Structure 1
Amino acid sequence: MTTIGAVLCGGRSSRMGEDKASLQLEGRPMVEWVAGSMREAGLESIVALGGNASISLPIIPDELEQEGPLHVLIKAIERLGDILVCPCDVPLVSARLLREILAAGATSTEPVVLARSDQLQPLIGLYKESAASLLSAGFARGERGPKFVLEEGDFAVVEAKAAETQNINTPTQFEALVVDLSSSNGGR
């Protein structure tokens, strides 16, 4: 089965105060930075999970946007099959890291998620079609994110560096990233 790239674009962006997916970094919206890394990693089909019409990707709407990301993950898996997911607010995620996640999941039916300094980052990961029932059961019990649901089943972990998995959640973090990219002369 072909794996589909899925960029998480929903949510309230309450700390940022505006839609994170559309924030421009070096002339490109953050969602496109993540989608570009997914393309470089070899994924041909990429969708947005949630988000608004300004996004240039096909959108799978999140009907329960205020309920956390678990519901839209489940809907995407049910609709698309295997997905490699990453939030739009992690624009420096590398194609190398995404390929590493895909490789770790090549021989497994279990989810493969990211960890950074022994902390699970389950919104960056490979979710196989077989994980839908585990995730759905967790959602039915009231869970709204995948972290605690995954702990009830088997999953693999890929370790990552902090820089390439940094979430950009506030205007201060965004401005610091803009400065870092301009001082490194071009980002990617």
Structure 2
Amino acid sequence: MAAVNHGCIGIVLAGGLSSRMGSDKAQLMRDNKSMLDFSTQLLNEVGVDRVVVSGNNYHVPDIFPQQGPVGGIYSVFNQVPCQAALIIPIDLPLMDTETLTSLKQAGQVLSKAVHFDDHSLPLYLPNNAFTELFFEQKIQVHLNSTGKGPSIKAMLKQVPHQTIKCRKASALTNTNTPNQWQQVQSQIFMPTRSN
């Protein structure tokens, strides 16, 4: 039986070592829900065909271990046929459905990779000839020359893309250390003010 070719899938990047955090970021609890469950729910609410978690302990193990976000995306694209992906890292506890929806819609309208100004993740990424060529040419070359995978910025240099403004800058707050995690906890429970 042929594999289903999905439209837009959601990818949660959860393959990092969480070394600065000191514990698995995917299992951190955000308002009685793990960051893994929170991230998965966000993508489902935005409306993707399927959510895939990238990382050795999850749905799609890395083909090349510890090669960063691009290595995780490459591994998913290799194993889950799709036309595009809406990609989020595991460490965005203030991300919301509206912000992610705006990114997905922009990507679909423009038919190219889209990310927010000054932030390479989250990312809407078409799985097309440009991404295929980049993966074919760069993944193995980078591994052979540096021992680590290329960055998302390096990928975007070869993939047609556009940036858009994020209307809610706090949604892009990422948490890499225990101190950063503590700082966002108060924001999660702060009542939102109406203008």
* 1:69-148 → structure 2 map (5 Å cutoff): 69-80=69-80, 81=82, 82-115=84-117, 119=118, 121-130=119-128, 131-142=131-142, 143-148=149-154
Q: Structure 1 residue 44: deviation in Å?
A: 4.2
Q: Which has the higher helix share?
A: 2
List alignment gaps of at least 5 residues for structure 1: 54-58
Structure 2 residue runs without a partner (length 5+)? 1-5, 143-148
Q: CA deviation at 1:49?
A: 0.7
Q: Distance in 2 between matches of 1:113 and 1:136?
A: 23
Q: Does the 8 Å contact 1:34/1:92 carry over to 2?
A: no
Q: Is the 8 A contact 1:11 1:65 kept in 2?
A: no
Is the contact made by 1:112 and 1:155 (CA closer than 8 Å) also made in structure 2? yes
CA distance in structure 2 between the aligned counterparts of 1:182 and 1:153, rounded to whole angstroms:
39
Alignment partner of 1:156 is 2:154: no
Work out whether 1:65 is the aligned partner of 2:65.
yes
Larger CA Rg, structure 1 vs 2: 2
Q: Runs of at least 4 residues of structure 1 off by over 6 A?
A: none
Instruction: Please tell me whether residue 168 in structure 1 is matched to residue 175 in structure 2.
Output: yes
**What is the CA distance between 1:6 and its match in structure 2?**
0.6
Identical columns (%): 26
* Worse overlay, 64-73 or 4-13: 64-73
Aligned to 1:30: 35
> Structure 1 residues 10 and 173, CA, compared in 2 at 3 Å: closer, same or farther?
same
Q: How many pairs are equivalent?
A: 176
Normalised by the length of structure 1, the TM-score is 0.83
